[in-house]
A = this chain, B = another copy of it.
Amino acid sequence: MTDQMQRIALAARPEGAPGPEHFSLETGPVPTPGEGEVLVRVHYMSLDPYMRGRMDDAKSYAAPVPIGGTMEAGGVGEVIASNSDAFQPGDFAFGMFGWATHGVQNAKMLRKIDPAHGPITAALGVLGMPGFTGYHGLMEYGRPKAGETLVVAAATGPVGSMVGQIAKMHGLRTVGVAGGADKCALATERFGFDACIDHRAHADAGALRKALAAECPDGIDIYFENVGGKVLEAVIPLMNPFGRIPICGMISWYNAGNLGAGAAGDVTPAPFLWRNILVKFLSVNGFIISNHWDRYPAFLNEVGPKVAAGEIAYVEDIAEGLENAPAAFMGLLQGKNVGKQIVKVI
C-alpha cells in the first residue's frame, strides 16, 4: 500500500493544562494488516478525560503514551482490508485506533457495529465506554434505591447523563452539577434531572454546598464522582449515612500534575475526606470500566433498546477533522464541549 495516513502524536508531556505544543500531526504510510488483523478507516474518534492521564508518566492503571507515540483513543470506522474471517471490507467496527485516520488491530480486539441499529457514533458515547462507565458504576457501586438522592457532576457529559437517567429510572431524585446555565437547562430538559446546579455561579465549595443542600433536602445518598475538586468538597458533608461514592474520574484535578503528596491544585485536606467517610459510614469505590467488560453485553442488552426507543437521550459534540482533535481535547478539559466529545475524522 502506498496510501498515506495521519495521526496525532504526543510531542511533549504537559505540566498543567496541555497546549498545542504537546501534540504533533504526523503523516506516514497506512499500515498493512498482518495475520488475523484488520485495517480500519476511522470515521469518528472519541475524546475522553482519561486521555489527559496518559500524557503524564505518573504510575497509573495504564501505561503512559510514549513521546512520539500516537495518542490513545477509541474510534469507529469501516473495514478496508481484513485478514480475519470475522470481518469483511465494508463492515463497521469499534477499536482502539488512536488519534488517527487509520488503524490496524487484531480482529479479537474489535467489536462489530451494525449501522442499521443507529448512528455509529453511539458506540463512542451512550453505548460505549462512557455510557457503560456510568451505568455499571452506578449499579455496581452506587447501589441505587428508590427514594434516594443522587448527585453527579458533568451532568450533560456522556457519563453524567447516563448516571442521571438510569438513576431516575430507578426512582431516585437526581441533582446534576454542570458549568453554565445552558448546560443546566440541558440537564433538566433533555436528561430529566430534577435539578441542576451551575457550579460557575458559585465561587467556592461553601456556596456550592448551600445550593446543593437546597436541592437535596433529604441529603445525598449517592455521589457519582467524576470531577473531584470543588464539587467533591461541597458534596461530602452532605452525604447521608451509608452513602456510596463510585469514583470513575476527577477531571478537575487532571491538570494539577501527578497529584502526589504536597502537590498543588487543591487545598482540601485529606482528613476532611477521611473523617466524612468514617462518620457517615460511606462506601467509596474506585473503578475503571476496562476491568468490567464481561458485563458489557448485559449493559448493551438493557440499555441499547432504551436508546433506540428514545427513552435514554444523548447529546454529541462533533469536531471536524483530525487536525482539530487537540483543540477539542483542550476544550473538553475546560468543559467547553456540550455532550459527548467526538471528532469526525473522515
Contact = CB atoms under 8 A, between A and B. Distances in A.
Interface in A218-263: 225, 228, 232-233, 241, 247-250, 253, 256, 259-263
A60 interface: yes
Given A256-B271, A270-B273, A272-B270, A278 B263 contact: no
A74 to B, nearest CB: 19
Closest 5 CB pairs of A and B: A268-B270, A278-B286, A284-B284, A277-B286, A259-B271
A274 B271 contact: no
A291 interface: yes
Contacts of A253: 271, 274-275
Nearest to A252: B271
A274 B284 CA distance: 10
B247 A277 contact: yes
Nearest to A272: B261
Contact of A266 (B249, B265, B267, B271): B271
Given A287-B281, A288-B281, A263 B274 contact: no
Contact of A285 (B271, B282, B291): B282
A261 B288 CA distance: 28
Most chain B beta carbons < 10 A, residue from A261, A265, A273: A261
A263 B272 contact: yes
A5 interface: no
A15 to B, nearest CB: 16
Nearest to A287: B281
Nearest to A244: B285
Contacts of A268: 261, 269-271
A116 interface: no
14 contacts: A248-B278, A250-B275, A253-B275, A259-B272, A261-B267, A261-B272, A262-B267, A263-B271, A273-B274, A279-B288, A281-B285, A281-B291, A282-B286, A284-B284
